Amino acid sequence: MEITELNEKIKQESAFIDTLFAEIGKTIIGQKEMVERLVIGLLSNGHILLEGVPGLAKTLAIKTLAQSMQAKFQRIQFTPDLLPADLLGTMIYNQKDGNFSIKKGPIFSNFILADEINRAPAKVQSALLESMQERQVTIGSSTFPLEEPFLVLATQNPIEQEGTYPLPEAQVDRFMLKVKIDYPSRDEEQKIMKLNIGASLPEIKPVVSPESILNARKLIHTIYVDEKIEKYILDIVFATRNPKEFGLEDLQDLISYGGSPRATINLALGARAMAFVKRRGYVIPEDVRSICMDVLRHRIAVTYEAEAEDITSENIIQRILNTVEVP
Amino acid sequence: MIKKYITVLIILAAGFLNAQSIEVYADTDTTEYVVGDYIHYRLELRYTNDIKVELPSVIDSISMLEFINEEPAVVRKNDNETFELREFVFSKYDSAEVSIPGYSVKYYAGNEADANIINVNPVTILVRTIEVDPSGDIQDVKAPIKIELNWLLFSVIALLLIALILAAYILYQRYKNKRQIVVKEKKIIKVPAYRIALEELDELDSKKLWQQGFVKEYHSELTGIIRKYFESRFNFPALELTSAEILANLGISDADEQVKIATNEFLSNADMVKFAKFKPMPSVNEEMMKQAYDIIDKTKQDDEVKVESVEVQSVQ
| Three-state DSSP class for residue B218 | helix
| Cα–Cα dist A72/A106, whole Å | 10
Contacts with B219 from chain A: Cβ below 8 Å = none
Q: Please give the domain boundaries of chain A with CATH numbers for all domains.
A: 31-191 (3.40.50.300), 223-323 (1.10.8.80)
Element (H, E) at A122: helix A122-134
* Residue B113 burial (CB count, 10 A): 5
Element (H, E) at A267: helix A261-277
Question: Is B220 close to A327, i.e. CB distance below 8 A?
Answer: yes
B242: nearest CB among A224, A285, A323: A285
- CA nearest neighbour of B242 among A180, A228, A240, A177: A228
Question: Is A228 close to B275, i.e. CB distance below 8 A?
Answer: yes
| Three-state DSSP class for residue A26 | coil
Mean pLDDT of B254-263: 83
* Residue A24 burial (CB count, 10 A): 24
| Cα–Cα dist B175/B255, whole Å | 53
The least confident of A144-153, A173-182, B131-140 is: B131-140
Is the entire prediction scored with pTM above 0.90?
A: no
B181 has a pLDDT exceeding 50: yes
A226: nearest CB among B237, B242, B274: B274
Q: Tell me, yes or no, if B241 comes closer than 8 A to chain A by beta carbon.
A: yes
Question: Is B240 close to A289, i.e. CB distance below 8 A?
Answer: no
| Cα–Cα dist A290/A33, whole Å | 10
Which of A8, A272, A284 should we substitute to test contact with B (largest number of B Cβ atoms within 10 Å)? A284
Who has greater pLDDT, A7 or A278? Answer: A278
- What digits encode the pLDDT tens for the residues B57-107? 888 888 889 999 999 999 998 888 999 999 999 999 988 999 999 999 999
| Cα–Cα dist A295/B191, whole Å | 42
Contacts with B240 from chain A: Cβ below 8 Å = 321-326
A322: nearest CB among B240, B274, B278: B240
Q: Tell me, yes or no, if B244 comes closer than 8 A to chain A by beta carbon.
A: yes
| Cα–Cα dist A200/A315, whole Å | 42
A286: nearest CB among B239, B242, B278: B242
Q: How confident is the model at residue A235 (pLDDT cuts 50, 70, 90)?
A: very high
Q: What is the ipTM of this complex?
A: 0.76
Q: How confident is the model at residue B253 (pLDDT cuts 50, 70, 90)?
A: confident
Q: How confident is the model at residue A197 (pLDDT cuts 50, 70, 90)?
A: confident
Q: Tell me, yes or no, if B271 comes closer than 8 A to chain A by beta carbon.
A: yes
Chain A nearest CA to B243, separation (Å): 8
Mean pLDDT of A312-324: 91
Contacts with A283 from chain B: Cβ below 8 Å = 275
Q: How confident is the model at residue B310 (pLDDT cuts 50, 70, 90)?
A: low
Mean pLDDT of A33-44: 89
Mean pLDDT of B149-154: 88
B154 has a pLDDT exceeding 60: yes
Question: Is A284 close to B242, i.e. CB distance below 8 A?
Answer: yes
Chain A residues with CB under 8 Å of a chain B CB are 3-4, 7, 224, 226, 228-229, 280-286, 289, 321-327
A226: nearest CB among B239, B240, B275: B275
A161 has a pLDDT exceeding 80: no
Q: What is the pLDDT of residue B29?
A: 92
**Which residue of chain B has the CA closest to A287?**
B242
- List phi, psi (to 5°) of B44: -105, 135
Contacts with A286 from chain B: Cβ below 8 Å = 242-245
A291 has a pLDDT exceeding 90: yes
**Which residue of chain A has the CA closest to B220?**
A327
| Cα–Cα dist B106/B53, whole Å | 6
Q: Which residues touch B171 (CB under 8 Å, ≥6 apart)?
A: none
Mean pLDDT across chain A: 87
Contacts with B276 from chain A: Cβ below 8 Å = 3, 7, 224, 226, 280-282
Q: Using an 8 Å Cβ cutoff, are A248 and A319 in contact?
A: yes
DSSP string, A272-295: HHHHHHTT-SB--HHHHHHHHHHH
Q: Tell me, yes or no, if B219 comes closer than 8 A to chain A by beta carbon.
A: no
Q: Tell me, yes or no, if B233 comes closer than 8 A to chain A by beta carbon.
A: no
Question: Is A7 close to B276, i.e. CB distance below 8 A?
Answer: yes
Q: How confident is the model at residue B15 (pLDDT cuts 50, 70, 90)?
A: very low
Q: How confident is the model at residue A138 (pLDDT cuts 50, 70, 90)?
A: confident
Spell out the alpha helix ranges (H) of chain B: 2-19, 58-61, 151-178, 193-207, 215-234, 243-251, 257-275, 282-299
- What digits encode the pLDDT tens for the residues B105-120? 999 888 888 888 999 9
Q: Tell me, yes or no, if B214 comes closer than 8 A to chain A by beta carbon.
A: no
Contacts with B277 from chain A: Cβ below 8 Å = 3, 224, 226, 282
B275: nearest CB among A4, A229, A322: A229
Q: How confident is the model at residue B316 (pLDDT cuts 50, 70, 90)?
A: very low
Q: What is the pLDDT of residue B8?
A: 55
Instruction: Give exposure, A126-135, as e/b (b: 16+ Cβ within 10 Å).
Output: ebbbbbbeee
- What digits encode the pLDDT tens for the residues B125-141? 999 988 777 888 887 87
Q: What is the pLDDT of residue B92?
A: 92
Question: Is A228 close to B244, i.e. CB distance below 8 A?
Answer: no
Q: Tell me, yes or no, if B247 comes closer than 8 A to chain A by beta carbon.
A: no
What is each CA distance from B67 to A294, B43, B72, B101, B128, in whole angstroms?
69, 15, 15, 15, 18
Contacts with B271 from chain A: Cβ below 8 Å = 284
| Cα–Cα dist A124/A86, whole Å | 9
Mean pLDDT across chain B: 84
Number of helices (H), then strands (E), in chain B: 8, 13
Contacts with A325 from chain B: Cβ below 8 Å = 239-240
